[in-house]
Structure 1
Amino acid sequence: MEDEHEAIDRLSTRIDEKLSSFSTVSLPMCFKVPNLLRQTNEKAYEPQIISIGPYHHGKDHLKGMEAHKIFYLNRLLQRRGETGVRKYVMALKVKEEKIRECYAEPLDHNIDGDALVEMMLLDGCFIIEIIREYQTWNLGELQERNGNFRNFNVESVVCDLLLVENQLPFFVLSELFHMTPEPNQENDEHEATDHLSIWIDHEKLSSFSTVSSSGCSIFRVPNLLRQTNEKAYEPHIISIGPYHHGKDHLKGMEVHKMHYLKRLLQRRGETSAHRYLMALKDEEKKIRECYAEPLNPKFDGDALAKMMILDGCFIIELIRENQTETQKIDVDFRNFNRFSLKRDLLLVENQLPFFVLTKLFQMTGGPNQENVQGFIPLALLFFSRVMPGYGNGLVIRDQNIKNLLGLVLDSWVPSLKARDNYRKISKEYGGWNFKYSATELHEAGIKFKKIDHEKIVIKPEIDEAGNEVIKMGNEKSFFDIKFENDVLWIPTIKMYAYTDSILRNFIVHEQCHNNDTRYVTDYVTFMDCLINTSKDVELLRHSGIIVNNGLGDDEVVATVFNKLCDSIVFSKKSFYSEIFIKVKGYREKKWNLWMANLKHNYFNTPWALISVLAAVSLLILAAVQTIYSHLSYYKR
C-alpha cells in the first residue's frame, strides 16, 4: 500500500513539474501548416521569392533574395551613419531563448545561436525597411524606384511575407523598428568586438558592395517566372556560359565547339589557342562580375577561360559563316535544327559577356573584321530570321551592349520616331484594366489592319562625332502600333514554335535590368488584352496581323499570349497608354456601345441572325399589310 502511495507521489510530482515548466514557457506563435491542410494545395503555403525565419531558410530557389537582405541592412546602416551591427546583435542575442520559444517546432540543428541572430537581423531589417519605403511610395512606385526589385514582383514579395511559415516574432520586428528610427546622431561608440557582428560587418556587407558595384548583366531566371514555363528558359541543343555547362543532353555540342576552334586556328595558321587563353585570363575578374550568381567552384581561372574560348569562338565562327552561307554545306549540323540553335543563343541563362565576343572577334578577324562594329551587323543578320517581327531605326553603339540577347533586343525596340512621340504625350494609365478583346472591339466598329514593313537593311554609318555606328534601315518597328479614326494598325507577328520562348526570354531580360521602359512586356500585355479566345486570334489572323508558322491552331496561339504575362512586373507607364485610352474612349461612345451590344446579343451566331432577320421581315410584312388594309378602307 505504501509503495502504491509513493508511486502516485512520484507520478504527481513529475506531472506537476511539467505543468510548472509549461507555465514559464511562452506559447508558440509561429507554426507549421498542418499536413492535412498542406495536402489540399501545397504551393499555397510555400514562399515563391523570399524566406523569412527558419522554416524555409536556405532553400535553393529562395537564395536570390539573400543579397537583397544584405543590401537593405547596408542601406539602413548608411542612413543612420553607423558602421557596425554590434548593438543589434547584442539586443537579439539576449532574446535568443525567447525567439526559439516562438516557433512551434524545433529549429534545424544548423541554426545555432549565431545563425539564429543573424537570420533575425537580416530578415527583420529587410521587412521594416520595406514597410518604411511603402509609407512613401505605393507598390508600383516601389517597384519602379527601387532597382533592387527589377528581378521580382513586389506584390509577390508581400504575399510571401503573409505566409504562416514565413514569419518572425513580432517583438523582434518591433524592437528593430524602435532601434532604427529616422536619422539621428546616436551612433554606437563601442568598437565591434563580438565575433558575429564582425562577421556580418566585414564579410557580408563588404562582399555585397563588391557584387553590387560590378554591374552584373547575365542573370538567372527568377523562380516565379520559371515556374510559368520552365522549358522556355532551358537550352535544347547547346550550353553557352556556366549556368547550363555540363548537362548531359547538351554534351553532344562540345565536340562541335572544339571542331570550330580547330577550324578557326587552321584558317589563321595558328597551332595553339594560348594567346586567347592568356587574353581572357586577364579578364577573369571582369567576366565573373558579369554573372549575377557565384559560379560553380569547378570554374577556376583556367576552366573559365577555356569555356569562354570554346563558347565564344563557336559563336563568332557560326555568325561569320552565316554571312557566306557556308552552313548549307556544313555537315557539322546535319543532326541539329539551326533555328533551335539560334533560339538557344537567345536564352537569358545562355549568354557570354559581350566584351568577350568582341575581343575574340577582333583577335581572330581578317583585315576587314578588326573593328568591333563589324561584329554587330553580322550578329543582327544572323538572328534576323528567327525574330517574330522587324527591327527599327535605332542607332546601336557597342558600349551599351551587355550580351547577344541584349543586342538583339536593342535592335528590336520601337523606332526613334515612336519613342520620341511617346515621351511627348505619355500619360499615366491607372492599372491594366483594359477589358475589351479584339472581337468586342470589332463589334464596336473598330477595324484591324496590318502594318507592312520593308525588308530590314543593316549598315554601318558615321555619326556626327566621326564614330562608326550601326543603323537599322527600317523606319518602322514591330512595336509601332497606332489607332487612327476607327482603325487599329498592328504590325504582323510571325508565330513560330520557338516564338513563345524568345518572347519570354526578352521579358525576363527586361525584368532583370532596371530599364525605364519595358517594350516587350508592354507589347505582350497589349496583345494579351486583345486576345482572350481563339476567336480573337482568328480575327487577327484574317486581318494579316498574326501569321501562324507552325505553332499550332488558333487555340494554341491564344494560350501562348494569355500565359506570357503570368507573374511579370508591369510598367506603370505603358508604351501603349495613349492607344488604350483612345480605343477605350471609342468603344464606350453610346452609338458604338449600342452597336456592340446589338452585334453581341443578336448577331453573334448565324441562327441568331436568321431569327432577327425573320422577326424584322415579319414586322415589315405586318406593316405592309396594315397599310394596305387602311388604303382599302379609304377607297371604299
Structure 2
Amino acid sequence: MVAVFNKEVLSWYLITLKLRETVGAGVEKSAGSTPSPSGDLQLETPQQQLPQSEQHHRGPPQHQPSLSDWHSKTINGGGKNVVEEEEEEEEEGNPLESEWVISIREKLEQAGQEHDAASWAKLCIYKVPKSLQEGDDSHKAFVPQIVSLGPYHHDREHLREMERHKWRSFQRILERTRQEVKLYLDSIGELEEKARACYEGPITFSSYKFVEMMVLDGCFMLELFRGAAEGFKHLGYSRNDPVFAMRGVMHSIQCDMIMLENQIPLFVLDRLLGLQIDAPDQRGLVTKLALRFFDPLMPTDEPLQKSKRNKLESSLVDQETSTTITPFDPFTDQMGLHCLDIFRRSLLRRGPRPEPPPNSRNWIKWISNRGRVADKRRQQLIHSVTELQEAGVEFKKRKTDRFWDIKFENGVLWIPRLLIHDGTKSLFRNLIAFEQCHMNCGNDITSYVIFMDNLINSPADVAYLHYCDIIEHWLGSDTEVANLFNRLCQEVVFDFNESELSKMSEQVNRYYNQRWNVWKANLKHNYFSNPWASISVIAAVFLLFLTSVQTFYGVYAYYWPNN
C-alpha cells in the first residue's frame, strides 16, 4: 500500500488513474466500432467522460481535436488536410460567406464552359450593341416589326401573327415537292451545331425547337425569294394572299429581313433550297434570289447591266500595287454569311478581305494598325457643302450604280446619285452595326455615311445636293434628310486611315485651304453669278480703263505740253 504524505500529490495521483481508465475504456469501445477513413480509431476526449457536475463546473464544452484528427494532419493520405478543415470550419461559422463563395465558383465554372464551347471564328449574326441603339427611333431600326427570323426575336408578342403564315409556306412546300417533313428536320439537324455557332451568346432553345425554327424560318424566306423571282401564282398562292403577293406589306417584310438581328445562316438556306430542287450541294442560287428580292432597297437608281458591270469591274486597279482587283460577283460567290452580308457586298461590288488572326508575336502591332476604336475628333473628313462652295468646289452627279464611288478632279466633286426612302435609315444603321461588330469586315459603308454626314450640316446643304441631282429623297422635307445623316453615326467610331475616302478628302481639304481658290470663288459668286452681273462688271472694268487712259493723257499733257 502506498503511503501518502501530501494531499496535492494524492489528488494528482487519483486524476492520473482516472485518466488511464478512461483512455483504456475508449480504446476498447473503438475497437468494436467502424474505423475512420484514415484507418485510425476515433477516441473520446477525457472531458466527455467526466461527470456532468464536473463538466458544468468547467463551463461549456469546447472543441477538442481527437487523436485521429491529429493523425490525419500529420500523415499523408489520412483524410482531409488542414486547409480543407479550416475552410469547412469557416463555412460552418458563416453560412452567408459560404453561399457567396459557392456562387462565385459556379459562375467561374460556367464561364469556363462557355469559353471552351465558344467558336468565335463562326460568329456572324450579332446582337446590336447598346451604344448603337441609343435614340428615339432605334426600336424601329433594329427590331423587326412584322416577322422574326432566328432566335433573337422569336416568339415576341407583336410578331406571332406571322407564325401561321410560316406554317402555311412550309406546308405548301411539302405539297409541291411531295416530300416528308422528317427529311428537312434530319437534314437541318446535321447543321445544328454549326448554325448555333453563328449566333452571339448562348441559345437556350432545345435541339428540337432550334431545328424547327431554322426549318420554318428558312422555308418562309425561300418562298418569298422564289415568289419575287418566279411569281407567287406559279408557286400556288392566290393573288389575294395577305403575305405571299406583291403588296404594300412586302416592303415592310423586306426591311425586317435585312436587319442584323433577324438573319438565318446562308448555308441553312442553301441546304433547304437544295432539298426542294433535289440538289443538296448547290451553292449560289440563294444569293441570286436574295439580291433580286432586296433590289427595291438599293440606294441607287442607276441599274448596271451585266455587260457593263463586267467592263467596269475589269477596270478596277489597286493604286498601291497596280494590280487588277478580283471583284465580288454576288451571283457566283460562295462565301456569303447571311442576307445582310451578301447585300452589303453586292453594294460594294467586291468580296471581303479577311485578315489573318494575330499570333502572340505581332498582336500588339496588329491592334495598333487595326484601330477599331478611333478618336472621334478625326472623323471630320471634309467640310460641308456650303463651306466647299465658298472655296470654289463644284458638285456634279456621277453616273454609276456604285453610290460610294466618289471622285475629286480639278475642283469638281463627283458624287453618284443617292435615293433616300423610309427604309434607308434602317438599312444604313444595320449595315453600320454589322461593320462595327464583324472583325473580318471593312468600314466602307461607315466611311461613306460619315462622309455624307460631314457634307450635310443643314437643310441648305441637302437642297443644293438635290439641285445638283445628287440626292433624291421621298421624305417630308430636307430637314429630315439632314437629321437622318447627322444621327446615323453618333456613337460610331472607325479608323480614319482605313477609310478609302480619306485620300480623296485630303485632296479636297488641300484645295479648300488655298486662298486663291477662295478669292476666285468669291469673285465668281459675287460678280459672275448671272449674266446681268457679268455685264455690269465688264462695263465697270471698261469705264475704269477709259478713266485711267484719260488720267494718263491729262498728266502727260501737263508735264510735257510741247509734245
* Residue 565 (structure 1) aligned to one of 466, 485, 489: 489
Q: Give the structure-1-normalised TM-score.
A: 0.57
| Identity over aligned pairs, percent | 33
Distance 1:243 1:617, change over 3 A: same
Query: Which letter does structure 2 place at the counterpart of 1:314?
Result: F
Give matches, 1:345-424, under 5 Å.
345-365=257-277, 371-389=282-300, 393-396=327-330, 399-413=334-348
Tell me the residue number matched to 1:281.
189
For 2:396 and 2:520, locate their aligned partners in 1 and report how far apart those are by CA, in whole Å: 21
CA distance in 2 between counterparts of 1:415 and 1:403 reads 16
Work out the CA distance in 2 between the residues paired with 1:448 and 1:562. Answer: 20
Deviations 1:186-238 (A, max 9, x none): xxxxxxxx856754553322322322546321111111111133121121221
Change (3 A) 1:485 1:217: same
Distance 1:415 1:337, change over 3 A: same
Q: Give the RMSD, CA atoms, in angstroms.
A: 4.1
Partner of 2:42: none
Task: Say if 1:266 and 1:489 are closer, same or farther in 2 by CA, change over 3 A.
Answer: same
Q: Does structure 1 residue 267 correspond to structure 2 residue 173?
A: no
Which deviations, in whole Å up to 9, do the C-alpha atoms of 1:318-353 show, x marking residues without a partner?
111211233793523367421221111100111112
- 2:146 — aligned with what? 237
State the distance in 2 between where 1:316 and 1:261 align. 10
Q: d(CA) in 1 for partners of 2:142 and 2:99?
A: 35
TM-score by length of 2: 0.64
How far apart are 1:356 and its partner, in Å? 1.3
- Which residue of 1 is the match for residue 390 of structure 2? 443
C-alpha deviation, 1:509, in angstroms: 0.6
Q: Corresponding residue for 2:409?
A: 484
1:217 paired with 2:141, answer no
Contact 2:329 2:350 in 1 (8 A): no
- What SS class does the counterpart of residue 294 from structure 2 fall into? helix
Report the Cα distance in structure 2 between the residues aligned to 1:554 and 1:542, rounded to whole angstroms: 12
Corresponding position of 1:434: 381
| Equivalent residue pairs, number | 416
Alpha-carbon offset, residue 478 of structure 1:
2.6
Bigger radius of gyration = 2
Q: Does the Cα contact within 8 Å between 1:434 and 1:529 map onto a contact in 2?
A: yes
Deviation readout 1:599-631 (Å, 9 max, x if unpaired): 78x68999xx99999999889878867977998
Residue 370 of structure 1 and its aligned partner are, at CA, apart by 6.0
Would the alpha carbon gap of residues 558 and 613 (structure 1) be closer, same or farther in structure 2, given more than 3 Å must change? Answer: farther
1:269 positional shift: 1.8
The answer on 1:309 being equivalent to 2:215 is yes
Q: Matched residue of 1:331: which SS?
A: coil
Task: Name the structure 2 match of 1:332.
Answer: 242
SS of the aligned residue for 2:380 comes to coil
Asked if residue 227 in structure 1 is aligned to residue 158 in structure 2, the reply is: no
Give structure 1 regions of 4+ aligned residues with deviation exceeding 6 angstroms: 603-606, 609-636
- Where 2:286 maps in the other structure, the secondary structure is helix
Q: What's the CA shift string for 1:106-135, capped at 9, x where partnerless?
A: xxxxxx75798xxxxxxxxxxxxxxxxxxx
Give unmatched runs, 5+ long, in structure 2.
1-85, 91-95, 305-312, 314-326, 355-368
| SS of residue in 1 equivalent to 2:242 | helix
1:54-65 mapped onto 2 (5 Å cutoff): none
Residue pair 1:524, 1:561 contacting (<8 A) in 2 also: yes
Superposed, which structure 2 residues align to 1:597-612 within 5 Å?
Answer: none
By how many angstroms is 1:256 displaced?
1.7
Given that 1:522 and 1:571 are in contact with CA atoms closer than 8 Å, whether structure 2 keeps it comes out as: no
Alpha-carbon spacing, 1:623–1:374, altered in 2? closer, same or farther (3 Å): closer
- Counterpart AA for 1:556: E
Going from structure 1 to structure 2, the CA distance change for 1:544 and 1:113 (only over 3 Å counts) comes to: farther
1:556 and 2:491 aligned = no
Distance of 1:233 and 1:481 partners within structure 2: 28
Match of 1:72 in 2: none
Structure 1's 629 and 593: CA in aligned 2 closer, same or farther, altered over 3 A? Answer: closer
Structure 1 counterpart of 2:365: none
CA contact (8 A) 1:414 1:519 kept: no
